[in-house]
Structure 1
Amino acid sequence: EKARELLARTLPEGLEILEVREAGLEEPSLPVQVDAAEYEVHVETSLSEEELRERVEELLARKMLPRERRGRLYDLRPLIRTLKVDGLQEGQATLRMVLSLGEGKTGRPEEVLDELGLGGAFFQVVRRAMVLKGEQEGSGDFRNPSALLQASLETALGDP
């Protein structure tokens, strides 16, 4: 409980610690345990919601999505675990996606947007949660395993 109180004092407003657990020294590091990330993406579009849903369905139906990153070819399709349109209002669509993370298998929201034909549009990405190996993603409300986990990962990965 004392650790929770000390950590809570240093967190920015709006960030809450949901759980604090003791981790043994023999446990793998946090980055090694991360399997995927759940994202909420807001993107400007002139498409109707129906047209956007059709594009998502077509993308998910494809067997392969060949891409190139840093001169290396890879298949984006197996990195997209889930992708859905969550609504469209005043020319701004909200997409929710779960993308694989890990060494040699990292999906990026901007690459998914590019495959949907929205690559040049203004967009904002919110990482809602990190999914640990063995956990089930998409529990309905973009469950965050713990604010401490997210804060630790952001620090470890150098995210702002």
Structure 2
Amino acid sequence: MRIRLTFSKQGALRYTGHLDLHTLIERAARRAQLPLAYSQGFHPTPKIQLASALPLGFSSRAEMMDIWLTTEDSEVSASKLRSDLQATLPRDIQILDIQIVDDRAPALQTQLIASEYEATIPDEHASNLTIRLAALVDALSLPRVRRGKTYDLRPLIESLALAPPSAPLSRNTGEGSGVRVFMRLTAREGATGRPEEVLSALDIPPEDVRVERTRLIFQG
């Protein structure tokens, strides 16, 4: 049996890394007494897969993961699994949805094509922001250096714009706390756009900006 969870990651857990989050979820599943399925080999591990690593310091309202169980589909309901697991998770992780999916379905990581983010720009960095956004979108290329290698950021930016006034506020955003920018970035293997690189290209220090992932987009 394979269950797919959508969950939020907020508060202090923004500073919990990918591997530590995996361990946290595994321990919560054990405390909830979920019958975890294990991988094969000399060092079997619980079969838990996160769709995409979230950069340290980012919050999210759209994380996804798959967990494999030894239970048959007919033996337990999705709602009971959700309540049992939520009871053992920290408050800063909230399960938003849970579904039972086909064991033969492709891995989430192989189907991910893009991610959407909301960045809250402090007022002191928001001068002429509309002009800077337009210049970035109109650029033919945006050479950047990552891990000592030069790459072009521009093809990885699918959309970039100021949030409309009617857009709902993020949980981490208060009225008058800054200017919000929405970005949709490619998230394919070997071609992943990073919000902090977009912010740097806008001459905005990434460490001064609150970023929340708002959506994961899959093919099909």
1:27-66 paired onto structure 2 within 5 Å: 27-46=105-124, 51-66=128-143
SS at match of 1:10: coil
Q: 1:105 aligns with which of 191, 201, 207?
A: 191
How does the TM-score come out when normalised to structure 2? 0.52
TM superposition shift of 1:75: 1.1
Root-mean-square deviation (CA, aligned residues, Å) is 2.6
Unaligned 5+ segments in structure 2 are 1-78, 166-174
Report the AA paired with residue 10 of structure 1.
T
TM superposition shift of 1:54: 1.1
2:160 corresponds in structure 1 to 83
User: Aligned partners of 2:137 and 2:149: how far apart in 1?
Assistant: 23
Conserved in 1, the CA contact under 8 Å of 2:126 and 2:179? no
User: Aligned partners of 2:183 and 2:159: how far apart in 1?
Assistant: 5
User: Aligned partners of 2:126 and 2:80: how far apart in 1?
Assistant: 51
Segments ≥4 residues shifted beyond 6 Å: none
User: Aligned partners of 1:14 and 1:71: how far apart in 2?
Assistant: 35
User: Aligned partners of 1:2 and 1:79: how far apart in 2?
Assistant: 40
TM superposition shift of 1:96: 1.1
2:209 corresponds in structure 1 to 123
Unaligned 5+ segments in structure 1 are 135-160
Highest CA radius of gyration, 1 or 2? 2
User: Aligned partners of 2:145 and 2:129: how far apart in 1?
Assistant: 24
Conserved in 2, the CA contact under 8 Å of 1:46 and 1:91? no
Return 63-72 or 20-29, whichever deviates more.
20-29
Matched residues, number: 133
- Quick one: percent identity of the two aligned structures? 36
Report the AA paired with residue 24 of structure 1.
D
How does the TM-score come out when normalised to structure 1? 0.69
User: Aligned partners of 1:33 and 1:132: how far apart in 2?
Assistant: 5
User: Aligned partners of 2:118 and 2:199: how far apart in 1?
Assistant: 12
TM superposition shift of 1:6: 2.3
**Structure with more relative contact order (C-alpha pairs < 8 Å, separation 6 or more):** 1
